[in-house]
Amino acid sequence: MIGRQRDENPAGIHLPLDPLPGHSSRGRLERVLRRGEFAVTTELNPPDSADPEDVYNRAKIFDGWVDAINAVDASGANCHMSSVGICALLTRMGYAPIMQIACRDRNRIAIQGDVLGGAAMGVANMLCLTGDGVQAGDQPGAKPVFDLDSMSLLETCRIMRDNGKFLSGRKLTTPPQIFLGAAVNPFAPPFDFRPIHLGKKIAAGAQFVQTQYCFDVPMFRTFMQRARDLGHTEKVFILCGVGPLASAKTAKWIRSNVPGIHIPDAIIKRLEGAQDQKKEGKQLCTDIINEVKEIPGVSGIHVMAYRQEEYVAEIVDESGVLKGRQPWKREIRHDDQMVADRLESILHDDITETQVDMVKTAH
């Protein structure tokens, strides 16, 4: 889109941003939220592949449209490329990942190591999850761990960051600078308990939260009213989960088979009555965004477009939530392009590896 104002994009895109007073991390997402701008995050569908290009090809479609990308940690208890691996690849190119950490597969020793490793790679955002049970995935015989849960994981990360210590009490040489997130579900019973549960996660260390898919705006509005009454919106940034539905059939399947997702009958009827259900699903998502962005206390949206990632930019654009602002976009610098061009031109020549290295180091 022409005329959008670019977010800060320092020349050294692979280096962390300068620290700011009152910030826990050196990441872009926290800066956007603390400036009071409406944030947009999304999820990268992890590949069943060891090819880094499979990650980059999935990430580049979000360029210039989102402030951070969730690196999913084996959601649904199904194995894919790890969130740590995805974050390593994304930070290498300057993207701002949100590293999901689930408690299902690792004990507190491994988790604390991953927190340090992620922070060392430049990960500024970490989302603390309990994780789906192994019975939900395609390897139900796997042994679950659950040494921690989402609440104790938040506390662990907060202690490491703020106190500079492991859970054992041993001091850290350099604490991680991280912006801590959690997940909340306003649409799962008991509904009255959900705002209270959010308060517990805030007390444990959550600074931002991403909600489950919102298909019932009145229900979400009620949740937000209660969250405001409890003072939560003064302490945490709430990003409402949204996403396009491909068809009425898909919506029915999700409602019947995915726990925690509430899809009202009116949504399904609207899709059934549409001539082009996929197009209507995108419009529905945009309509929901336009409603929730007006709810006091909502700081952004989290767009989950599983197998429809190519529509994220269109949905964000049509919703107008960025208000002319353009989030970070990867740019190939002139010297990098020269290296790429020269390497491409010599791939067809008979040269040695040493000669290739000389081309790389020449710039």
Show the tokens assigned to 1.
């889109």
Show the tokens assigned to 168.
């054992």
Residue 31 falls in which region: left (phi positive, over 0), alpha (psi -120 to 50) or beta: alpha
Q: Report, as an integer, the average pLDDT of 141-148.
A: 96
Residue 150 has pLDDT above 50, yes or no: yes
pLDDT of residue 359: 39
- Indicate the SS3 state at residue 181: strand
pLDDT of residue 292: 99
pLDDT of residue 351: 47
pLDDT of residue 95: 97
CA distance 164 to 43: 30
Sequence-distant (6+) residues with CB within 8 A of 315 are 244, 282, 285, 286, 289, 303, 305
Q: What percent of the chain shows pLDDT beyond 70?
A: 87
Could you report the per-residue pLDDT of 250-301, keeping only the tens digit for each? Answer: 999 999 998 899 999 999 999 999 999 999 999 999 999 999 999 999 999 9
- Domain residue limits, the chain: 5-331, 334-363
pLDDT of residue 75: 84
CA distance 146 to 105: 7
pLDDT of residue 133: 87
Of residues 356 and 110, the one with the higher pLDDT is 110
Q: What percent of the chain shows pLDDT beyond 90?
A: 80
* Topology adopted by domain 5-331: TIM Barrel (3.20.20)
Kindly list the distances between the CA atom of residue 282 and the CA atoms of 39, 197, 310, 318, in Å, as whole numbers in the listed order.
19, 31, 11, 10
CA distance 184 to 281: 23
Q: Report, as an integer, the average pLDDT of 11-30.
A: 81
CA distance 231 to 199: 9
User: DSSP strand E in the chain: where?
Assistant: 5-6, 39-44, 68-71, 97-102, 125-129, 179-184, 208-213, 237-242, 298-303, 325-326
pLDDT of residue 362: 43
DSSP, res 160: I
Q: Report, as an integer, the average pLDDT of 152-157.
A: 99
- Residue 303 near residue 239, CB atoms below 8 Å: no
Q: Which residues pair with 42 in a beta bridge?
A: 69, 303
